[in-house]
Amino acid sequence: MAGGRTAAAAEGYRAARQLAPDPAEARSLTARLMAAEDPALGDAIAPILLGGGDPALALARLAASERPLARYLLARATLARGAPRRARGSRAWAISSRGSSTRRPRRA
């Protein structure tokens, strides 16, 4: 991630989060920080978060990962491509921090 400069990237993301960004920007910075701190996760999601690279390969890496952030980003990418049923079926709908699947209650 960030050309191999993960420590510098992580420090930059931490500093940016201290500037009290809006909620969407804060989520993005948190995801980038998590990716910078986890090399395997960073390799999987860098093409999505930073652009560039092969999007199909990035999605395949996300699908192979058991990390909650990877599952969340896979679901978001699937939704963005207009496939909500596939997103829901990807187990990304709700994953606990321990990695076990949970289901959200259906809306009435």
Encode the chain (108 residues) as per-residue pLDDT tens digits. Answer: 545 578 888 999 999 999 978 998 998 899 889 888 888 888 888 787 777 788 888 888 888 988 888 888 888 888 887 766 665 555 544 333 334 344 444 444
What is the residue type of 105?
P
Three-class secondary structure of residue 27 per DSSP: helix
Question: pTM for the whole thing?
Answer: 0.61
Placement of tokens 């910078």 in the chain? 36
| Residue 14 CB neighbour total at 10 angstroms | 13
Alpha carbon distances (Å) from 24 to 1, 63, 65, 76: 21, 24, 24, 14
